[in-house]
Structure 1
């Protein structure tokens, strides 16, 4: 049975995410998206009047929202160290399942110059900012100071993205495991030295 025309928009966005992860932004052309998704050519400018730029922008936003959802779920964890451990484990599993072909679609866009479409760089930046804000909220919830929470959040995101790149280059999860271990130990130490909870009775 052939795919329904009505779902061509979603298929194109999801194919764009896959292509960004595996081939990077420069190689993610409209023709390649159509071939991967099986969407009819006439659907491109019907669904995406802004063309390739709009399509990639929406793909970055959707990928970012998915990961933000995972982080938001982690925020509710009673153990923030376990939550971060699971974040790194998610990326490790993604790399293994794809045989190191699939990286982060947001990074794929961020590392391009995007001179002809600067909004793509802004979109990638907004996703990374959202992730850092979510992790900051996690650490603040567990009584780490605001400044320390923001620094740790930036470190977690930067370490994960850097580890993804190293893992793909080395065809190994060793960099991710090394980074995850160091972040784990750092968080254990940070949380052990946090200010005590204020148990003073309120009037």
Structure 2
């Protein structure tokens, strides 16, 4: 199964890293409630004693670190395309999620989204952490659109639209088991960006 945190393929590494990648995979598939110590140990093959050696605060620490690990991995996707402009960045995200979804046979979505909608009291801190990750993505996307020439307000609005639309597309792809929603959303976002660029450069007649 492909792993978002592992750059789409799980690579060999430390026991600690293996547990983090496994926790991300479970979070993508089952949400925060599904991330249990037993499940992570069973999938990663890590010895039970490694849990409190690497994560002395137990499940809560494992969850938070796994979420941040996934968030950092996805931020790398933004950074890799940021210098090429907003449209290139949207295309990078579409390609990334298409590979990630296909690699999981459409059984796993975005770990940050899964954490954001966590509703149990024990996992409420995850929603806050997820919000911080989304804010980092918004700021990075906004900076890209500002470099494209957009004013700050328009750049932030486009960034929020891209995140919301692409995250929604991932959910639709997972439920329909097809990449088509990602392709459709990607095309519409590109059209929106180009249209806003046209307005920015040429203005609107009669406005």
Does the pair score TM above 0.5?
A: yes
- SS at 2:183 equivalent: helix
- Where do 1:5-154 residues align within 5 Å? 7-77=14-84, 79-154=85-160
Does the Cα contact within 8 Å between 2:28 and 2:108 map onto a contact in 1? yes
Could you tell me which residue of structure 1 aligns to residue 183 of structure 2? 177
> Cα offset for 1:137?
0.4
Higher Rg: 1
Task: Provide structure 2 residue ranges, at least 5 long, that are not aligned to the other structure.
Answer: 1-12, 203-207
Per the normalisation by structure 1, the TM-score is: 0.89
Instruction: List structure 1 segments (4+ residues) > 6 angstroms apart after TM superposition.
Output: none
**How much is the aligned-residue C-alpha RMSD, in angstroms?**
1.5
Superposed CA offset, 1:109-164 (max 9, x none): 11111312432111111111111110000000111010111111011111111111
Per the normalisation by structure 2, the TM-score is: 0.87
- SS at 1:49 equivalent: coil
Does the Cα contact within 8 Å between 2:118 and 2:124 map onto a contact in 1? no
> Cα offset for 1:194?
2.1
- SS at 2:160 equivalent: helix
Task: Provide structure 1 residue ranges, at least 5 long, that are not aligned to the other structure.
Answer: 1-5, 197-203
Aligned length, in residue pairs: 190
Q: Evaluate the alpha carbon distance shift between residue 58 and residue 39 of structure 1 in structure 2; reply closer, same or farther with a 3 A threshold.
A: same
Could you tell me which residue of structure 1 aligns to residue 9 of structure 2? none
Does the Cα contact within 8 Å between 2:109 and 2:174 map onto a contact in 1? yes
Q: What is the alpha-carbon distance in structure 2 between the residues aligned to residue 139 and residue 86 of structure 1?
A: 15
Q: What is the alpha-carbon distance in structure 1 between the residues aligned to residue 86 and residue 32 of structure 2?
A: 33
Q: What is the alpha-carbon distance in structure 2 between the residues aligned to residue 143 and residue 114 of structure 1?
A: 42
1:164 equivalenced with 2:170 (yes/no) = yes
Q: What is the alpha-carbon distance in structure 2 between the residues aligned to residue 7 and residue 93 of structure 1?
A: 25
